[in-house]
Amino acid sequence: MPGAPAIPVEDTEVVVVGARCAGSATAAAFARAGVRVVLLDATRFPSDTLSTHLLWPGGVAELARLGALDRVTALSAPPLRTAFAAGAGHTIRSPFVPVDGIDYALCVRRTGLDAALAATAVEAGADLREGARVGELLWRGKRCAGVRYTDASGTRELRAALVVGADGRRSTVARLAGASSPRLSAPSGRDCYFAYWRDAATGWREVAAQWRDGPDLGTAFPCDDGLLLALVQPPSSVNRPGPGGAERRYREAIERIPGLAARLAGSERVGRVRSATGLVSYFRRSSGPGWALPGDAGHFKDPVTAQGIRDALHYGRRLGELAAPVLHEPDRLDAALRAWESRRLADCLDIYQWTNRLARATAMSPLEIQLYRRAMNDPELARAVTAIFSRTRDPKDVFTPALAAALAFGALREAWPSVGPVLTDLLHEARDTATDWWQSRAHHALASATCCYRAGLPHLLDG
């Protein structure tokens, strides 16, 4: 428009949109490599966000690798050194398998956690700009070349060699890059409702606990400031909760899970019930010429296995480490981004499939009941299953054909002569295993085909 003031234009090397887990990890990694990085976020820290925020030991180890663990530890969330699971009359207690010497989980509210991560990125050298909302991507031909954003001073442009969209499931960068539609997706069978409680059960302050009753699942995770995060995941409803609906569904689900209700006895609820419904797990296309999508912007798993923060930290950090050395060589940068994306797909597909099974919201099957029964008397099996959550073991390496046969034999012997439900479960398990195998084969092939850069940077890809 004639006479309109020119939009201020600034040059940098990397723009990261979103300054929470994935964004701060990415920005810190780039900054430590000597890259000029601007970190934009629409909010101002400290700021809350919808999250169940549990980190298994593998996630806590990522905080240490990022250099943020001391800041997070200062928030005084209790170390959770025991995993507890109960279902079908069986209870399992297990210590955590250490990851880089860390043998505990942490549940830290996002207000403090995200502020600590952003401060870590700033300390590393990132330029954090809060209250900055991105509205457009800038393009040079088919290559992303920066962003246009608005803050309190008006509209500004940032030109960069790489734009990183770490802006969550409803990612603006994914939408503007044409990557919103998932390549692979699975709707959850569960809704999610949670609230905080003033924890009265001091004997449980170092325990991460889960209960299953019928199709319902409930968890209790002690967190900072003497609080407890109590979450329920009942079967999903086709109807939105409506006014008061979240409160009602939360209360009713707790009543259906006696173990969780007993855990909350004497505790006082603090604040409102929060909800996440209509959840869909997915992989999106997560890289293109001059852009990439770490965190939930590119890949999301149902919260039933609490993997999101760990993956956001890990793959955000790996993105920065892998892309920094080739940032100003477009062809090599694009190949590095493809390598990063394919590695995440290869690493995460098995846990994605396992999470989707747990998110179905069905009652415990005969095989699952046998797993609980066996793990209750087999500490090594209990630790192995717990290690899946920390990503030190893959589901397929724990649930071997030998274990499957043992669980099937135990379930048939327990049910004899009424073995119909067990045989049905075995049929479903065989079908699901075949489906997962074909899906893995197709998408691991895609990962290999899109990764033409592995030979060039094996020392980075293997980290």
| pLDDT one-digit tens code per residue, 406-450 | 888 888 888 788 777 778 877 877 777 777 767 776 666 555 545
The CATH number covering residue 329 comes to 3.50.50.60
Same domain for 271 and 200: yes
pLDDT in tens, 107-133: 999 999 999 999 999 999 999 999 999
Same domain for 286 and 269: no
**How far apart are alpha carbons 345 and 448 in whole angstroms?**
10
Could you give the number of structural domains in the chain?
2
Residue 404 lies in a domain: no
Average pLDDT value for the chain: 92
Task: Note whether 301 and 351 are within 8 A (CB).
Answer: yes
Amino acid identity, position 236: S
Residue 29 lies in a domain: yes
Whether omega before 417 lies within 30 degrees of 0, making that bond cis, reads: yes
- Report DSSP state, residue 43: S
Answer whether residue 451 shows pLDDT above 70. no
Same domain for 222 and 148: no
Residue 256 lies in a domain: yes
- Report pLDDT for 431: 77
Amino acid identity, position 354: W
Same domain for 159 and 113: yes
**How far apart are alpha carbons 346 and 340 in whole angstroms?**
10
- Report pLDDT for 373: 94
Reported as a pLDDT band with limits 50, 70 and 90, residue 458 is very low
Task: Note whether 87 and 372 are within 8 A (CB).
Answer: yes
Task: Note whether 28 and 320 are within 8 A (CB).
Answer: yes
- Report DSSP state, residue 300: E
Residue 146 lies in a domain: yes
Residue 94 lies in a domain: no
**How far apart are alpha carbons 281 and 78 in whole angstroms?**
30
pLDDT in tens, 35-92: 999 999 999 999 999 899 999 999 999 999 999 999 999 999 999 999 999 999 999 9
Secondary structure (DSSP) of 332-355: HHHHHHHHHHHHHHHHHHHHHHHH
Q: What is the percentage of the chain residues whose pLDDT exceeds 70?
A: 94
Same domain for 286 and 343: yes
Same domain for 133 and 33: yes
pLDDT in tens, 267-323: 999 999 999 999 999 999 999 999 999 999 999 999 999 999 999 999 999 999 999
Same domain for 336 and 204: no
Same domain for 258 and 115: no
Instruction: Examine the fold and report which residue of 233, 255, 276 is the final residue of a domain before the chain moves on.
Output: 276
**How far apart are alpha carbons 302 and 389 in whole angstroms?**
13
Query: Domain span at residue 308?
Result: 9-53+109-187+280-356
